Amino acid sequence: MTLDDITHALLASYENDGGINHFDGTNLPSEESVNQLCSEFMHLLFPGFFEQKPLTKQSVAGVTARRIAHIHSHLVAELEKSLRFSKSADPASKAEELAMDLLRALPTLRQVVRTDVAAAYDGDPAARSIEEIILSYPCVLVISLQRIAHLLYKKGVALLPRMITEYAHERTGADIHPGAEIGSHFFIDHCTGVVIGETARIGSHVKIYQGVTLGAKSFVTDDQGLPIKGVKRHPKLEDHVIVYPGATILGGETVIGRHSIVGSNVWLMQSMPPNSIAYYQGDQASIIRPRKAKESLIEEAGDWEI
């Protein structure tokens, strides 16, 4: 087969099999541009941490202004593509409005993200400094970008929020849907292999470990057997919950009550009352019982470490 033959075969595939970026139609958001946006957002959230040259008090204003202008331009372009894809009315004006709303939210978002950094520092005895957390803990990247994507998701933006969280997924191994609602002081220790579904709800001061899944038991289908979108499918974790490695918690009606602990490798499809603990013992099914006073004291002392 010659190069011309290969070219013609690919062109025929484009015509017959689809999977192309809309010939003569709406252009889709650029992966390269979105990935660059993610990097720029992290620079704005943590100025001076990811620079190649030192950032000074004299230069920070100019650097920030240029970075915001650069982000604004690229964000508007990718938002407009997303809005055209979803056939929104007046996508150009709407993209400008959404971009400005997101940029205005960044100071408040920084306050929340700082609580995540503090939770990582307080929750990991191996951490030696806040700088170490920001520069080397993957949870900072994935949680920060999910919070940005969530703001766009709540506005009904198509494609772009998922592309932002998939950039973080690729970088960290943690997959958090932009629809998930997450409170302050959230820490994912070790990060890798975590999956948090679209309709999951996570309270404040929650700590989870690697390999945890907050998933769905099943999904509701319509008359054609297709999944109905937007149904609550994923669990809720209330405040001050700890979930240990490999645990799987499923179901839209499943609620893990505040100050509860889910042990390693536990499989849960039922709710837990506040101040309880779930674990395996021998070959038995998962056991859920009230937490003892001693267990509460150990947690407060910070000795629950993996």
Give all domains of the chain, ordered by start, each with its CATH number.
26-173 (1.10.3130.10), 193-306 (2.160.10.10)
Task: List, as one string, the DSSP characters of 155-197.
Answer: TT--SHHHHHHHHHHHHHS-EE-TT-EE-SS-EEES-TT-EE-
The string of pLDDT tens digits covering residues 235-276 is 999 999 999 999 999 999 999 999 999 999 999 999 999 999
Average pLDDT, stretch 67-88?
Answer: 95
In three-state secondary structure terms, 201 is strand
Identify whether the C-beta of residue 244 lies closer than 8 Å to the C-beta of residue 264. Answer: yes
How high does pLDDT run on average in the chain?
Answer: 90
Take residue 6 and report the two structure tokens written for it: 């290969």
The string of pLDDT tens digits covering residues 84-100 is 999 999 999 999 999 99
Residue 43 has a pLDDT of 93
Instruction: Name the strands in the sheet holding 207-209, side by side, starting at the edge strand that comes first in the sequence.
Output: 187-189, 207-209, 242-243, 261-262, 276-279, 287-290
Take residue 110 and report the two structure tokens written for it: 């920084």
The string of pLDDT tens digits covering residues 36-45 is 999 999 999 9
pTM of the entire predicted model: 0.89
Q: Which residue has the higher pLDDT, 187 or 54?
A: 187
Backbone CA torsion sign across 70, 75, 81, 84: negative
CA distance to 74, 102, 172, per residue, from 32 (Å): 11, 20, 18
